[in-house]
Each structure stands twice: as C-alpha cells, then as structure tokens.
Amino acid sequence: MKKFIAIVMALMLVASVAVFTASAAESPTEVGYYSMTAEAIGDGEASVTPAKILIGSDGTATFTATEKGGKFIKWEFHCEYDVVSGNVAEDGTSTDKVVVLRPKSDIHGIAYFEGATKPASADTGTTAPKTGDMTLVIAGFMILALGASVFAFKKIKE
C-alpha cells in the first residue's frame, strides 16, 4: 500500500508541475475574438462580414440586409459597439440596410423584413462564459487526490 501511495503522490507532483508550467507559458494577454452573427426574420437575407474580429483590434463588421420578396423594416442589434457608418438609435435599431459597427462585445444583428415578428429567443445582450481553461478543474482533482492520499496514509500508520 505504501508503494501505491508513493506512486499517487509522484503522479500528482508531475501533474501539478505540468499544469502550472502550462499556465505560466500562456501569454498574459490571451488572444480572443468577438463573434459576429446575423439573422433574418421574414422574407429576406441578413449577412455580416467578417464572422469574427480580434479583441482589441480596430476591426469593423459590416451588416447587410438583402430583400428577397419582403420589404426591409429594420436592424436590431444586441451588443456593445461603436457605429462606424449608418444610423443606429439608442435602442439598438437601424433602418439602414447596411450598417458598419466596431464591436466591444459579441454582436448579434437581426434584420426584420415585411411580415416579420420578433423571435422568441432574441438575444438579451449577455455573453456566454469563457470556456476551455481546465486549470482549476485539474487543480481541484489534484487537491482531492492529495487529501485522499493523506487520509489513506494516516489509516496505514494506525
């Protein structure tokens, strides 16, 4: 049993060094992107280019509404942005078919066309939490394993 505990402790030490080395190797300014999406409600098409913009860059997104049978009514934007071209009201709506925005967050634009109704799942302007960093999960499991090893070691000593 002592060999088992020694092996577990050695594996935890190696894993902890690997996790903290990987965390230290990451740059302090992580590269991220804002996501740009466009949705059409009614008889028309909505598009945005580009689909993502580097956070911290001076990039812009061009939202374009194209009529395909229904008359264009308005854009509705859910996000934080600066207007580069086009007129956007304080409530996030615009009657311009082409609007250029500089994002400060992910942007979701909805283009409404004749006969359109607001979708039930309209974005509230919130963003999803950041995912992909497993450092805290691994550290939690390592602490749990260390506690179990100490408990097992104390039981053997008794």
List pLDDT tens digits, range 57-75.
Answer: 889 999 999 998 889 999 9
- Average pLDDT over every residue of 34-58: 93
Chain centroid to Cα 114, Å, comes to 32
pLDDT for 27 equals: 46
The per-residue b/e assignment along 74-112, b for 16 or more CB within 10 angstroms, e otherwise, is bbbbbbebeeeebebeeebebebbebbbbbeebbbbbbb
- Average pLDDT over every residue of 52-58: 90
According to DSSP, the β-strands at 33-41 and 107-113 are parallel
In the chain, what are the domain boundaries? 2-29+133-157, 33-113
- Average pLDDT over every residue of 137-149: 74
Which band of pLDDT confidence, cut at 50, 70 and 90, is reported for residue 120? Answer: very low
pLDDT for 66 equals: 94
Instruction: For residue 111, give the nearest of 45, 61, 62 by alpha carbon.
Output: 45
- CB hemisphere CA count around 132 (13 angstroms): 5
Locate 23 and state its tokens.
């965390």
58 vs 81: CA distance, rounded Å? 12
Contacts of 36 (CB under 8 A, 6+ apart): 48, 49, 50, 51, 52, 53, 61, 103, 106, 107, 109
Termini Cα distance of the chain = 13
Q: What is the pTM of this model?
A: 0.55
pLDDT for 116 equals: 45
